[in-house]
Amino acid sequence: MAYRDETQLYSCLGQLFNQVETDIPQATDSLLKAKLSIRFNVTDPTAMLLINAKERPLQIEYGRANNHKPDLEVDVTGEALHQILMGQLSLTKAVGSKKVKPKGPVWKVMALADLFYHAQKIYPSICGGQ
């Protein structure tokens, strides 16, 4: 299993997004240009996060308490998310194989490609040993 529980998943992703925003702020440009809000519904472990890129700085909410209506919802397993962030699974293949299931305008999920590409440079040092 990629993450022991939702606490570990939130911790990894929190560290990752903080470092991406600090070290590679342009990684969020395509999301901000698209003015997207995306909710990730993660299973195994059960977790939820909302990336709100309506305006700079990007807002990320962790947990089920967010009640924003996202532009796009993405169902993904913790394992698939880990594999994407490790660079072991491409976003395109993940969508094609239904490991990532977008609900809403599917083409909008590709706005995540930039963020994931840059995150892959940082993620292994933060959460690679999970």
Cis check for the bond before 57: say yes or no (omega within 30 of 0).
Answer: yes
Q: What is the pLDDT of residue 104?
A: 84
How far, in Å, are 6, 18, 28, 127 from residue 114 at the CA level? Answer: 25, 16, 7, 19
Q: What is the pLDDT of residue 66?
A: 62
Superfamily of domain 6-124: SCP2 sterol-binding domain (3.30.1050.10)
Sequence spans of domains, the chain: 6-124
Q: In what order do the strands lie in the sheet with 59-62?
A: 59-62, 47-52, 37-43, 72-77, 100-103
Cis check for the bond before 45: say yes or no (omega within 30 of 0).
Answer: yes
Round to whole Å and give the CA distance between 53 and 76: 20
Backbone angles phi, psi at 63, to 5 degrees: 105, 170
**Digitized pLDDT (tens) for each residue of the chain, 130 residues in all:** 689 999 999 999 999 999 998 888 888 888 888 888 999 999 999 999 999 998 888 888 898 766 678 999 999 999 999 999 999 999 889 989 999 999 988 778 778 888 899 999 999 999 876 5
Round to whole Å and give the CA distance between 50 and 66: 7
Q: Nearest-CA neighbor of 38 among 24, 53, 17? A: 53
